[in-house]
């Protein structure tokens, strides 16, 4: 069970100025009132309202990438959980593993990705999207074979959308991990060792 507390204080709607309240309303209207818990926004959205000028643009980009692209929702969720698992972003995994299952990603595939294993994928679309997301998360670039496989399945528009989606959910992972955004009460962490006091964070001291 997650025992972490967010590094950022939780803001309620009444704490915000006009810009922050407008962003709050936009987030809850586009994603649903379930994003409010104990009077504050959950997931990355509490961070967004701390910096509403930036947060409004991030929220709008996220909505466009999830709901207004040419890429099938199943493939979108497959890419999101691949990125989230790479960064061990607990809230992202908790939210999107469920959505991936709901949109047709098999349980065995979700479980394999969460375990850091290469999933057995039956369709060419799924393989192309998984390998693109996995390679981007690990290397920040695509080799020619991976690029061409995704382009063949999704076209130029789709591959731009998918690469952008992977970048956006990398950013979301950074927000969740940097501010130690906790899971809902009673939810077990998928990677508890990644977030403990002895977690190995490389890169040296500032």
Q: Report DSSP letters for 76-137, one per residue.
A: HHHHHHHHHHHHT-HHHHHHHHHHHHHTT--HHHHHHHHTT------SHHHHHHHHHHHHHH
- Residue span(s) of the chain under CATH 1.20.1290.10 come to 71-175
Asked whether the predicted pLDDT for residue 99 surpasses 60, the reply is yes
The pTM of this model reads 0.92
Asked whether the predicted pLDDT for residue 206 surpasses 50, the reply is no
The second-level CATH assignment, the architecture, of 71-175 is: Up-down Bundle (1.20)
**Chain segment 56-85, per-residue pLDDT in tens:** 999 999 999 999 999 999 999 999 999 999
Alpha carbon separation from 131 to 71, 144, 157, 167 (Å, rounded):
15, 12, 18, 15
**Chain segment 171-185, per-residue pLDDT in tens:** 999 999 999 999 999
pLDDT of amino acid 42: 95
pLDDT of amino acid 92: 97
């Amino acid at each position: 069970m997650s025992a972490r507390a967010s590094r950022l204080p939780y803001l309620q709607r009444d704490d915000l100025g006009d810009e922050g309240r407008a962003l709050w309303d936009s987030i809850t209207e586009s994603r649903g009132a379930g994003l409010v818990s104990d009077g504050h926004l959950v997931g990355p959205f509490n961070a967004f309202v701390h910096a509403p000028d930036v947060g409004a643009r991030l929220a709008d980009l996220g909505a466009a990438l999830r709901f207004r692209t040419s890429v099938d929702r199943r493939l979108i969720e497959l890419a999101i959980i691949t990125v989230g698992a790479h960064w061990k972003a607990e809230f992202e995994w908790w939210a999107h593993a469920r959505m991936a299952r709901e949109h047709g990603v098999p349980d065995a595939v979700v479980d394999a990705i969460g375990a850091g294993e290469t999933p057995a994928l039956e369709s060419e679309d799924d393989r192309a999207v998984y390998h693109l997301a996995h390679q981007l998360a690990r290397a920040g670039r695509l080799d020619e074979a991976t690029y061409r496989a995704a382009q063949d399945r999704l076209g130029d528009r789709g591959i731009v959308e998918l690469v952008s989606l992977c970048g956006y959910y990398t950013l979301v992972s950074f927000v969740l991990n940097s501010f130690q955004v906790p899971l809902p009460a009673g939810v077990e962490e998928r990677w508890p060792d990644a977030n403990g006091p002895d977690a190995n964070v490389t890169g040296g001291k500032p």
